A and B are shown apart, each in its own frame.
Chain A
Amino acid sequence: MDSDDDFMSDASSNVDFLDDQGSDIESMDDFGDDIDVGFSQDKDIIGKTKKPYEVDHKVLSPEDIEREQNVQVNEVSSILGLPPESCAILLRYGRWNREKVIESYMDRPEKTLEDAGLGTNFEGAAKTEVIPGFMCDICCEDGDDLETYAMRCGHRFCVDCYRHYLGQKIREEGEASRIQCPGDSCHMIVDSKSLSLLVTEDLKDRYHTLLIRTYVDDKENLKWCPAPNCEYAVDCPVRQRELNRIVPTVQCGCKHNFCFGCTLNDHQPTPCALVKKWLKKCEDDSETANWISANTKECPKCHSTIEKNGGCNHMTCRKCKHEFCWMCMGLWSEHGTSWYNCSRFEEKSGSEARTDQARSRASLERYLHYYNRYANHEQSAKLDRDLYLKTEKKMTSLQSQSGLSWIEVQFLDTASQALQQCRQTLKWTYAFAYYLARNNLTEIFEDNQKDLELAVENLSEMFEKPVPELANLKVDILDKTAYCNKRRVILLSDTAENLKDGEWSFNVEW
């Protein structure tokens, strides 16, 4: 009914693509238009008044995803005049880049089909056959009533073997879109028609689930929600290469907030690359950094970290063989024979080495400064989360003690959520600050950070008050909650805008 329209819209988007190759934004827009056709009824784009740190996104259920695939398969099918199941294979082969698939097929149809694992012969419906005198190459059975099946490649096997093969691929190996013909070195892909002819219902379900999974994996604008047991995917136009200018936090239908760039938990305002660096650093360093700071020194020459576990002050670096004095860090050769007492603290070589050492220690101290605050907010968020679990109980007891209604005690829930969210943000401001090089904007950032932190600690304190006092604090808590949220918006807006404009300078390459 609307295939003509589809054809038109696709033809025009194809022209766009040819005119303006590599413009992902363009094709993204086209794509957006296309899915709207199918999903206008459940459009839940977040965008009342969009804040600078918010990104457009939309949540897709498994049914939405399947519908989206079908729409595209049918469109391509009507454009190329190929059966839908072949187009599905073509699209999967082309990782769902519709324009590229169409273009490639228009240019070199046979090669494209060949590469995608499709033959060029589309005749014949999928059906099993009994062929007299046939012997199955897999099981070597040759009964006269043996049901057999072959795809267009002509490699014929008995239905039992075919079925067993497909079952193993789907169930054990989790394969779906790239199952090949069982024939030795035949790369033809098993299409969905052949598949539905051969396998049992439960396997078909599994197959569809797997197909949907590869669809989401293949599309750059789709990501699975990483929350456990959540089966939604999120559609967001932010591309990998934009991640140095934007931190795309999205909210799934299950309410989980995650970063579309790296699928970790929301880490605004810190960009993904810095998050990765920071987490790696914490993993490598944090446990040991404190200990290292307290118990070791570095070789003045090669900067290997050295622990002195006894003995005299004459140190020989195991790595570079540099000989120095543990006390003054100066050259051992200048020490004469005073092995157990170093009285040369003021000598030049020693004082230079100590300055060097101090610099290196300062960098460690700097890291620990930020790490401790980061870790503190992480820990506090955990405690607040425990508190949140108790909040409901609190709300119930507050109701019975103060005569407030359920609606009237909702402020506790709101406060608890604000606390969580603000701590999450605060936590990441410290990782962000660690990599920030000072410029005229850092001060504003630090002020914002300080304001938010103060507001959060205030709210957190009120929140912990015993139940009888809470009713009286309601207005204060409501005010503080609103204030925290406002401070968070200010901080995030400021960082996001500067990130987008490339105004921040960082002390690392990323």
Chain B
Amino acid sequence: MGSQKRIAKELAELVESPPEGIKVELANEADLYDWRVYLNGPENSPFHNGTFLVKLKFPNEYPFKPPAVNFATKIYHPNVTNDEKGSMCLGMLRPDEWKPSSRVVAVLQFARQLLAEPMPDDAVEGRIAEQYKNDRARYEEVARDWTRRYANEKA
């Protein structure tokens, strides 16, 4: 159905008036379904000054099925898997919570907000969540260090 039109519209809106700290482009001009998103680490977080590449893939059934969101840049965060996938568990991306009228911009804003305020109770990295709860200083130290090491090259 109209997924092309819908995606094109969402992309145009995001490029025209990008939300704070979020930059969007196509991975390849010919493919609307594969986006690259650059998230700037929020100021009040250990990810500040880092730029995180997030890959956004739309299924053919979009917007009836949610897009897939993966961190391509390594990040030390309770809600992002510390593997080559960089998957995250966002409530709104779960098939039973996603609504066809939900918007990508909301997903991205939520993801960026998550950098500032992790949700340790929904963690995918239990150890990091544990540290976030019990030893915040150390968590921030490692997160800052990883940001310096992996999220430093400007896009």
Contact = CB atoms under 8 A, between A and B. Distances in A.
A391 interface: no
A155 B101 contact: yes
A173 B94 CA distance: 12
Interface in A140-185: 140-141, 155, 157, 160-161, 164-165, 168, 173, 180, 182-185
B113 interface: no
Contact of B99 (A136, A160, A164, A184): A184
A180 B99 contact: yes
Contacts of B64: 138, 164-165, 168
A183 B101 contact: yes
A137 interface: yes
**Size class of the A contact interface (CB-based, 8 Å):** 20 to 34
A335 B61 CA distance: 76
* Chain B contact surface mostly: loop
B3 interface: yes
B1 A164 contact: yes
A198 to B, nearest CB: 14
Interface size class of B (residues with CB under 8 A): 10 to 19
A139 interface: yes
Contacts of B102: 184-185
Contacts of B9: 140
B21 interface: no
Q: Which of B63, B64, B106 has the most CB of A within 10 A?
A: B64
B12 to A, nearest CB: 10
A165 B61 CA distance: 10
Contacts of B19: none
Nearest to A135: B9
Contact of B96 (A136, A141, A173): A173
A182 B101 CA distance: 6
A183 B6 contact: no
B18 interface: no
A161 B5 contact: no
A168 B6 CA distance: 19
A115 B61 CA distance: 30
B23 interface: no
Nearest to B7: A140
Interface string B1-26: 11101100100000000000000000
7 contacts: A138-B100, A139-B3, A161-B100, A164-B1, A182-B100, A184-B99, A184-B103
